[in-house]
Structure 1
Amino acid sequence: MTDLKLFRLDADGRDVELRGPTVTLKVELQRRIEAGMEAILVIRLLASDYRTEP
């Protein structure tokens, strides 16, 4: 799997890559999505990061 790359739009509407440790960016993205899921997707998150393997 390749590294996760995140982008934001600058004031001119161009994509700008957010630089930083992949794990840090992933965690921040996950937190923002989880915080806004009900408003954005009209669904409620029951738990975060369920373990699926023993």
Structure 2
Amino acid sequence: MAFDEKVDNKAEEIGGKVKEGVGKATDDERLEAEGKADQTSSNLKQAGEKVKDAFKS
């Protein structure tokens, strides 16, 4: 996985955590759900990149 992809995925994951936290703090269920979705998306991308890396070795 390229370094810039790792950074982008981690930034998306952190952004999702922030959204989720703000959603919880403000009782905004939609924002909280968006944050969880962002985290899930980021985790799936990271897993896909790890699989690619495993086949490169």
Range class of TM-score, shorter chain: 0.3 to 0.5
- Structure of larger gyration radius: 1
TM-score (norm 2): 0.34
Structure number with the higher helix fraction is 2
Tell me which protein shows more strand as a share of its residues: 1
- TM-score of the two chains, using structure 1 as the length reference: 0.35
More contact order relative to length (CA 8 Å, sep ≥ 6): 2
